[in-house]
Structure 1
Amino acid sequence: MIWKVAVRIARREALRHKGRSALVAAMLALPVAGASAADTLYHTTKLTTVEQLQRDLGHADALVSYVAPTPIEQLPDGTVPGSAQAGGMLSGALQGVQVASPVDSGVLPSGSRVVPLPNQQELRVEAPQGADSVPVVERDLGDPLLSGLYVPKAGRAPRAAGEVTLSTSLLSSLDKHIGDQLTAEFLTPGQVPDKNGQLPKHQLTIVGEDDDPAHLDADEVIAYPGTLPAVPDDAGPTQWLAQIPGGLNWAQVQKLNQGGYSAESRLVVENPPPDSAVPLMQHYHAASVGSSRLTQALLAVGAVGIVMALLEVVLLAGPAFAVGARKRRRDFGLMGAAGADHRMVRAVVLADGLVLGAVGGVVGALAGIGLGRLALPEAVDFTHREPGAFRIAPGDLAGAALIGVVTGLIAALIPAVITGRQQVLESLTGGRRGARGVPWKLATLGAVILAAGLAATGYAVFRPGIHTVPLVGGIAVSELGVVACTPLLVALTGKLGRLLPLTGRMALRDSARNRGRTAPAVAAILAAVAGSTAVATLLTTNDAQGRAQYHSTLRPGQVALMFGAAAQQQEEQQSGGSLRYNGTPTGPDLTPVDAAKAIAAISAVLPVRSAAVIPTQDYNGFVPVSIVVKRTPANDCPFFNGNGGAVVLPPGQGGESMIQSDPRCQAAFGGGQVVPGDAATLRALTGTVDPQAEKILAAGGMVVFSPFDLTGTAPAGGAPRATIALQRDCPPAGLDLPDDLRSQFAPYCAGPPPADLTLPAAVARTKDGSAVNGVRALIPQSAADKYRVKYVPSMVLFDTTRMPTKAEQERANAAAESLGTTALLDVERGYQGGNDTTMLALAAVAAFVTLGAAAISTGLAITDGQADLETLAAVGARPRMRRALAGSQATITAVLGTVLGSATGLVPAVAIVEARSHSFVQSALQGRSGHGLRGLIGGGPTVHAQSYLTIPWTFLIGTIVIVPMLAGIAAALVTRSKIEIRRRRG
């Protein structure tokens, strides 16, 4: 009965004060609308099983893939974890081995039909900017089994050789339309250029526009089968769409696995087998783990973010309920005089939160659906994925609306408790307004909470390993502790009023006296500024770390033209190094360009001083041998010389600092090949002339770039010496491998390894004294011939007189594309970090919340302090006093919030930076595993244990100084000067 009356009173009060009610309902609706919009987008973009199968399989029953020439194990969804089968998946050695289709090999049931999906190739097409290399695949889009693999936008499917469809992004970039002719060069290995180095040109007819639904931004050409030339020694297609009578069950999938094939089966995905029937789940426990540490961390951070967003709303809406309850004190006094007890008064105030929360929840849920629909195109542009059918989840929307109700009740809880404690006589006579005393009890609780949060954060940071839950939980609890201390801090700042002029003194003391509305606004600003400060600090630290750790394989201003194998491996690194199971080279033509023509073409458009050809080890997807520099034990990195390269570190932070400070360990992360070269190669790498090093190199010696690579001196005080050795990565003798796979290793692994080779050596440095990171050592060609390691030209290195401009680089790219093969041009411009756009966005978010909270707090203060303003006007205060007072109140609120928020935001930033610095061993192992061209082209990962913590002073100064000034000016401008003296009450 009490709640029925309370809700009726709250509903009438909300209708009586529509402006204030709409403001509070809007604040409560904001997080609900955001949650509803996010939920709607999630369910729309998250494909159902049927939709995902349509994209993967079209109308086929299964997608069958050849994985390896050995039995494999897979998950029911068709995934084959590479790490679990790394010992048996050495299919990169299968050069020239023909892969049989699943029908011919007999692994599919009789009566099955398969449609091959040939491997991707490359085309060079004429573009407005000169030329462009794009991927091309052959597909018969008219086959019913392929229906659903691509999204047709316009035109028709190709029906004859020479007809193609293009993706939307490619049509736009090439400025082509359906019906136009596409001039293209086939970059298929084996294509022979003419005497001018140009490949034959072919005219292809554009007949349609089709997009890959999983990669709407991809530039792709789809050609009718038979359009592209055959690839020499091609292993054939490695994927097939299969139509199988009765579908493909799990037992049949396991039969496929025994033959080295995997399958994504419609029947199995829709009816997955139990984990006990999946061998991979039993043998490899990691494959059955449903969530990774990264997923758990993201979920934890997301949960904390949601809680903090709701806390922001509670902090902003709570003062509005408090002021509303204070304006109705006389009404509550009359209720008490009529017999209402404290429970009834509390129920009426809580009912305000219930009614406005219900309105905000319903409106927010409905608005979220509309926002989700409006934001869907933007989500598609962001993810570049075709969404599923537009879907809403009624249960989730009801839960979001319930969040609005709960948020309203929580926001009204403290005002209800305070109002319920007031005496009837005090309510009827007005009594004394404002808080009395200092809130030591709440501050003491906040200090305890803050200490607990800091302790949890410190545990997560300084304990070995990664501890996501205590780290994220400690950060959240610490912020809540600071929020609990805010009322005390606001009360103490009131004692500083004597240092300010009249309006500032009045505003500061009013804020301290009415901390029930000031402290929540300050806490809301604190939470927003703390979050933006933490992110800004992390971005600034990352930028500083990237700048300090940046080690290019080129010197500033140098230009590298990579081609053949080097260009292919660089593209593989940029695309994530996806694993190819058939072992055949795919993508660009591996034939090197004519070095003389390349030098002439690039020198014509860039300010080139000199150029040299840099060779690298021949790369065909399978290189089990390489030449390495062999150090003495005293010169080797002490952290990588035990247990087959395992990292051995002393315990504690000191051990981590040692690895970055020991110069012997730099080569462990820098990577780089040992390559043959001459004086021109040395000058191109160092940018200077070193007569002594060139003399030793010409005499059959070698040049190294680190003094730790020297192994001693020759007898009788001769030149220093260095040692090289042949490193072989061969399978163990007892490993069961197919004969055709083992035969690929035979030329490299037969017999004992050749003996080490010690040569006279010189140490060379670059012009500016920095290290050479791309090449470990230069050796004479005779040394490479002794080890029977084949090197081919892979790069032309240009030394320039100045930094090339962007326009010159674009012209150089066009010149590289015209050389008759795929080539990649790289201009070294130094570290290109910076987060200006992101920092501006963070500043905008912090400013928006700060200005909003300051405006709400100021508006409530003006409304709540109307009697004081009337008194000031009665004793002769000027009209502009009201503007000055409003500006002072907004400025003080914003200053308190931004200062506390900036200090609080540094805590999680420091914690995350320090926690991250403890995870360097993982990166160190990755850097140690780099080999081959990885060091020559891209450089291995560089690891440092120090935190590089950097404070974003510009961001903090702008947040603490500029934003409060804007808040004060805005409040003064929008406040009316004239004070309306109301009719005297009582």
Structure 2
Amino acid sequence: MIWKVAVRIARREALRHKGRSALVAAMLALPVAGAAAADTLYHTVKLTTAEQLQRDLGQADALVGFVAPAPVQQLPDGSVPAPPQAAAMLGGALQGVQVASPVEAGVLPPGTRVVPMPGKQQLRVKSPHGSYTVQVAERDLGDPLLSGLYERIAGRAPHAKDEVTLSTSMLDALDKHVGDQISAEYLNGAEQTDRYGHLPDHGLTIVGEYDDPSHLDADEILAFPGTLPEPPDYPGPTHWLARIPGGLSWAQVLQLNRSGYSAESRQVAENPPPDSQVPLLRDHRGAAAGSSRLTEALVAVGAVGVVMALLEVVLLAGPAFAVGARKRRRDFGLMSAAGADQRMVRAVVLADGAVLGAVGGVAGALLGVLLGRLALPEAVTLTHREPGAFRIAPGELALAAVLGVATGLVAALVPAIITGRQHVLQALTGGRRGARGVPWKLAALGTVVLLAGAGATGYAVYRPGIHTVPLVAGIAVSELGVVALTPLLVALAGKLGRALPLTGRMALRDSARNRGRTAPAVAAILAAVAGSTAVATLLATDDARGRAQYHSTLRPGQAALMFGWAAVNESAAGSRPGLQFSGPDGAPNATAVDAPKAIAAISATLPVRSAALIQSQDYTGFVPVSVVVKRKPGNDCPFFGPNGGGVPAGPDGESMIQSDPRCVAAFSGGQVVPGDAATLRALTGKTDPAAEKVLAEGGMVVFNRYDLATDDPATGRATATVAVQRMCPSDGQDMPEELRKQFGPYCSGPPPADTTLPAAVAAARDGRAVSNVRALIPQAVADKYGVKYVPTMILFDTTRMPTRAEEERANAAAEALGTTALLKVERGYQGGSDTTMLALAAVAAFVTLGAAAIATGLAITDGEADLETLAAVGARPRVRRALAGSQATITAVLGTVLGSATGLVPAVAIIEARSHSFLQSAADARGGGPFGIGRAVHAQSYLAIPWWFLIGTIVVVPVLAGAGAALVTRSKVEIRRRRG
């Protein structure tokens, strides 16, 4: 009965004061609208299994790919993890060997129809501003099996040779339309250049505009099968779309794997097998655990963000309910005089929260769906992917609306308790009685809550694994504990008034006496600043980790013209964590370049001091041997080698091994290549007489002291050992005879003997490989082992950092060389989050100023009698402005200081939890248990405090709050006759 009456009163009060009710409802609706919009976008952008299969398989039952002439292991999605150079080695191994389609090989059931899906090749297209090097693939878009792989925008599918379709972005870049022609050069090595180094031009007719729904920003050309000439020793396509009678089961996929084929199956995707039936996951449990922990860490971070956002809304809405309750205290006094008890008064205030929360929840959910629909084009622009069908989740939207009601009730809880305790006579007469004494009981409770939250957070952070519930609960409880301590801190701050001028002293003491209205405002500012501080700290930490882990192969200001596999590896560096093995048909050619011509062309556009040609091992040919530096056992990295577990899982994997200097060279990679003094000077950018002397005398140069083998006791000079690493098949391994013959020259007989040479250590940062070179050896040693080296890079040492315009001209010069080349200018770490930090600062300032404005308005309204008294005794009009500005400044200072300190807690907790979770993943991957690698390596969190952000928030925002409150406050005080 009480709640029925309370809800009726709250509904009528909301309709009576529509402006204030709309403001509070809008405040409560904002988080609901954000959650509903995000939920709607998530369900729309996330493709269903059927939608994803249509983009991957079209109308086929499976996408089958040839991986290797040996058994392989795959994931249920069809991907086969492989090292970066595996495709190149396989491409060389299959030279002269035709890859059989799965139908010809007899690995698919009778009646299967397959459509070849050749790999992408490179094509240079003439453009109005020069030329573009883009990807081209041969596809029969008229085949029904390909329906759904590409989206037709305009035109038709190619029906004949030399007919192509272009993606929308490609048409825009070339300023072409359907029906136009383009001039192109094929870069697959099938055609020879003329005496000027130019390839033949081919005229291609644009007959359609087709986009890849999963990569709308891709510059892509699709040609009719037979348009592109086959390069030498082309093994044929290695991927096929297949229509299989009865589909392809997981058991059949495993049978394909035994023959060296992989498959993405529609039937398997719709009915995925358990992990216990996936050999790859069963044999590599550590990697699966690492991936699982990474997911758990992301869930924990998201949960912390949601909880902090809800807390912020509750604490921001609290002062609004306090204002409403303060405005209606006479009404509550009349209710108490008529016989209503404290429980009834509290119920009315709580009903305000429930009614406005329900309005805000429903309105927010509906608004969120509308915002999600309106934001869908922007989501497509950001993700460059076509979304699925527009979908909403009614259950989740209802949960979001209920969340709005709960937020309103929690926000109204403290004002309800305070209002229920007010005296009847004080409420009816408008009199006020300031708080007396110090709120030790609430402070003691707050201290206990804060300690409990800190304990839960510490448990979640430092225990092995990810513990989302204690982490989220600990952070939320800690912030609530600080909020409970706020009245005590406000009361203690009132004792500092003696050091302030008159208006500051009055404002500080008034805030302390009326902490019932000051504490909620301070808590609101605290919540806003805490949230922005936490995000700013996470961004600063990510930036610091990126800066610390950024290790370029080039020095700042240095430029490199890369061709062949060097260019491919450089351009794919950003996508390697998700690398999938696609087979040899997409392998690029390593077209030779005219080094003197290239050096002259680039030197004419960049401020070049010197240049040198760098060689690398030829991975386009079949050479199953590599020249490596052989270390002493004590110098080996414990993560690598026969007993190592590889790089730890997770994005912090590199930081985990940085504490051991033995791991630096092993982790950074690098090749052992032939070179001379000029090569050394180009790599290091300096002259090293000692190292150059060793090279001239037939020795070698390394860049890490752990690569030294020993000091020669006869001469007292350092030495290093070079060895050959052979990758030969086992005797019983099943493979084609043509392929086995290619191993013969390299794998027959005992391995070549190791070579120990005099050595010198050249200066290099952290002992890392310099420009992907780990050591320089004499050419005679490289020839001894029969390893083929080819030019892959020209290094340019510059006198200063090239400008962007110079870099663009150098890129144009590189394209004009008539070969596939990539020019890179090293500009150092280009990360940073200055724009995001400024946006955060703006949001924090806006919310803080709003909370300060609410607190100041409440204080001015509540202290009207004091201002009238001041005017009556002769106070100047500007005292009112000064007092309002002082009250806003004091409230903002207390809130920003506490918020900055409070916001560091969740940030540090998330950073440490993330680091410890990846450390635990590394331990599991190596099989060492939770403490197996504690002495060998530690996770680095790279905690970075955004000091300028904190100083700006604590200093600038309160000044702005005080100045704004002083400017918008009227100077003149109207003295009214008092009631009672």
Superposition TM-score, scaled by structure 1 size:
0.89
Aligned letter for 2:963?
I
Does residue 1:600 correspond to 2:594, yes or no?
Answer: no
1:199 aligns with 199
Measure, in 1, the Cα distance between the counterparts of 2:883 and 2:306.
Answer: 35
Does residue 1:339 correspond to 2:339, yes or no?
Answer: yes
1:215 aligns with 215
2:830 aligns with 832
The offset of 1:32, in angstroms, is 1.0
Measure, in 2, the Cα distance between the counterparts of 1:166 and 1:569.
Answer: 26
Measure, in 2, the Cα distance between the counterparts of 1:115 and 1:658.
Answer: 46
Asked whether the equivalents of residues 313 and 407 of structure 2 are also in contact (C-alpha less than 8 Å), the reply is yes
SS in structure 2 at match of 1:872: helix
Asked whether the equivalents of residues 188 and 231 of structure 2 are also in contact (C-alpha less than 8 Å), the reply is yes
**Within 5 Å, which residues of 2 pair with 1:239-258?**
239-245=239-245, 247-248=247-248, 253=253, 256-257=256-257
Aligned letter for 1:794?
T
Going from structure 1 to structure 2, the CA distance change for 1:145 and 1:909 (only over 3 Å counts) comes to same
Deviates more, 1:961-970 or 1:683-692: 683-692
Aligned letter for 1:490?
V
Deviates more, 1:113-122 or 1:694-703: 694-703
2:845 aligns with 847
Aligned letter for 2:966?
A
Aligned letter for 1:394?
P
Measure, in 2, the Cα distance between the counterparts of 1:394 and 1:657.
Answer: 44
Going from structure 1 to structure 2, the CA distance change for 1:200 and 1:259 (only over 3 Å counts) comes to same
Measure, in 1, the Cα distance between the counterparts of 2:196 and 2:456.
Answer: 69
Going from structure 1 to structure 2, the CA distance change for 1:750 and 1:923 (only over 3 Å counts) comes to farther
Aligned letter for 1:367?
L
The offset of 1:392, in angstroms, is 1.9
2:493 aligns with 493
**What's the Cα RMSD here?**
3.7
Measure, in 1, the Cα distance between the counterparts of 2:338 and 2:621.
Answer: 90
The offset of 1:379, in angstroms, is 1.0
**Within 5 Å, which residues of 2 pair with 1:810-959?**
810-914=808-912, 948-959=942-953
* Deviation per residue, 1:124-150 (Å, 9 max, x gap): 122344222111111122223222211
2:78 aligns with 79
SS in structure 2 at match of 1:557: coil
Does residue 1:61 correspond to 2:68, yes or no?
Answer: no
Asked whether the equivalents of residues 656 and 940 of structure 2 are also in contact (C-alpha less than 8 Å), the reply is no
| Residue of 693, 696, 699 corresponding to 1:698 | 696
Measure, in 2, the Cα distance between the counterparts of 1:286 and 1:409.
Answer: 46
* Deviation per residue, 1:82-139 (Å, 9 max, x gap): 389x999996644443332233334444443322211111111223442221111111
2:651 aligns with none
| Residue of 795, 798, 810 corresponding to 1:797 | 795
Going from structure 1 to structure 2, the CA distance change for 1:740 and 1:457 (only over 3 Å counts) comes to farther
Aligned letter for 1:967?
A
Going from structure 1 to structure 2, the CA distance change for 1:545 and 1:569 (only over 3 Å counts) comes to closer
Going from structure 1 to structure 2, the CA distance change for 1:313 and 1:236 (only over 3 Å counts) comes to same
* Deviation per residue, 1:521-546 (Å, 9 max, x gap): 22222223223223333433444455
Going from structure 1 to structure 2, the CA distance change for 1:888 and 1:767 (only over 3 Å counts) comes to closer
SS in structure 1 at match of 2:572: helix
Measure, in 1, the Cα distance between the counterparts of 2:638 and 2:686.
Answer: 33
The offset of 1:920, in angstroms, is 7.9
The offset of 1:769, in angstroms, is 12
* Deviation per residue, 1:474-513 (Å, 9 max, x gap): 4443333222212211121111222222222222222222
2:612 aligns with 612
Deviates more, 1:270-279 or 1:229-238: 270-279
* Deviation per residue, 1:419-478 (Å, 9 max, x gap): 333454444344543433322222222222222333344445555666665555444433
SS in structure 2 at match of 1:505: helix
SS in structure 2 at match of 1:292: helix
Aligned letter for 1:778?
L
SS in structure 2 at match of 1:123: strand
1:679 aligns with 677
Asked whether the equivalents of residues 96 and 584 of structure 1 are also in contact (C-alpha less than 8 Å), the reply is no
1:398 aligns with 398
1:967 aligns with 961
2:751 aligns with 753
2:590 aligns with 590
Going from structure 1 to structure 2, the CA distance change for 1:444 and 1:730 (only over 3 Å counts) comes to farther
1:8 aligns with 8
Going from structure 1 to structure 2, the CA distance change for 1:250 and 1:660 (only over 3 Å counts) comes to closer
Does residue 1:416 correspond to 2:416, yes or no?
Answer: yes
Aligned letter for 1:966?
L
Aligned letter for 2:823?
L
The offset of 1:624, in angstroms, is 3.9
1:652 aligns with none
SS in structure 2 at match of 1:442: helix
SS in structure 1 at match of 2:356: helix
SS in structure 1 at match of 2:310: helix
SS in structure 2 at match of 1:803: coil
1:936 aligns with none
1:568 aligns with 568
2:138 aligns with 138
The offset of 1:751, in angstroms, is 2.2
Asked whether the equivalents of residues 920 and 944 of structure 1 are also in contact (C-alpha less than 8 Å), the reply is no
Asked whether the equivalents of residues 248 and 267 of structure 1 are also in contact (C-alpha less than 8 Å), the reply is yes
SS in structure 1 at match of 2:30: helix
**Within 5 Å, which residues of 2 pair with 1:759-774?**
759-765=757-763, 772=770, 774=772
Deviates more, 1:911-920 or 1:507-516: 911-920
Measure, in 2, the Cα distance between the counterparts of 1:766 and 1:289.
Answer: 36
1:483 aligns with 483
Measure, in 1, the Cα distance between the counterparts of 2:290 and 2:647.
Answer: 32
1:728 aligns with 726
Deviates more, 1:890-899 or 1:164-173: 164-173
The offset of 1:699, in angstroms, is 3.4
Aligned letter for 1:237?
P
Measure, in 2, the Cα distance between the counterparts of 1:150 and 1:467.
Answer: 43
The offset of 1:2, in angstroms, is 2.4
Deviates more, 1:331-340 or 1:357-366: 331-340
Aligned letter for 2:300?
A
Asked whether the equivalents of residues 190 and 229 of structure 2 are also in contact (C-alpha less than 8 Å), the reply is no
Asked whether the equivalents of residues 91 and 581 of structure 1 are also in contact (C-alpha less than 8 Å), the reply is no
2:932 aligns with none
* Deviation per residue, 1:398-432 (Å, 9 max, x gap): 22111111111111222223333345444434454
* Deviation per residue, 1:845-898 (Å, 9 max, x gap): 221221222122222222333333333334443433333222222211211111
Asked whether the equivalents of residues 913 and 947 of structure 1 are also in contact (C-alpha less than 8 Å), the reply is yes
SS in structure 2 at match of 1:408: helix
Asked whether the equivalents of residues 297 and 917 of structure 2 are also in contact (C-alpha less than 8 Å), the reply is no
Superposition TM-score, scaled by structure 2 size:
0.90
Aligned letter for 2:512?
A
Going from structure 1 to structure 2, the CA distance change for 1:958 and 1:599 (only over 3 Å counts) comes to same
Deviates more, 1:51-60 or 1:269-278: 269-278
Measure, in 2, the Cα distance between the counterparts of 1:836 and 1:278.
Answer: 45
* Deviation per residue, 1:731-775 (Å, 9 max, x gap): 555656565665554443332211111223344447999994642
**Within 5 Å, which residues of 2 pair with 1:634-645?**
636=635, 639=638, 644-645=643-644
1:520 aligns with 520
Measure, in 2, the Cα distance between the counterparts of 1:202 and 1:285.
Answer: 52
The offset of 1:571, in angstroms, is 2.8
**Within 5 Å, which residues of 2 pair with 1:154-553?**
154-245=154-245, 247-248=247-248, 253=253, 256-257=256-257, 259-270=259-270, 292-430=292-430, 432-462=432-462, 470-548=470-548, 550-553=550-553
Measure, in 2, the Cα distance between the counterparts of 1:768 and 1:61.
Answer: 51
**Within 5 Å, which residues of 2 pair with 1:737-748?**
742-748=740-746
Aligned letter for 2:319?
P
Deviates more, 1:11-20 or 1:468-477: 468-477
The offset of 1:282, in angstroms, is 7.0
Going from structure 1 to structure 2, the CA distance change for 1:65 and 1:761 (only over 3 Å counts) comes to closer
SS in structure 2 at match of 1:390: coil
Gaps of 5+ in 2: 649-653, 927-936
2:27 aligns with 27
Asked whether the equivalents of residues 299 and 468 of structure 2 are also in contact (C-alpha less than 8 Å), the reply is no
The offset of 1:34, in angstroms, is 0.7
Asked whether the equivalents of residues 87 and 582 of structure 2 are also in contact (C-alpha less than 8 Å), the reply is no
Going from structure 1 to structure 2, the CA distance change for 1:70 and 1:659 (only over 3 Å counts) comes to closer
Aligned letter for 1:862?
I
The offset of 1:394, in angstroms, is 2.1
The offset of 1:713, in angstroms, is 5.1
SS in structure 2 at match of 1:114: strand
2:113 aligns with 113
Going from structure 1 to structure 2, the CA distance change for 1:377 and 1:525 (only over 3 Å counts) comes to same
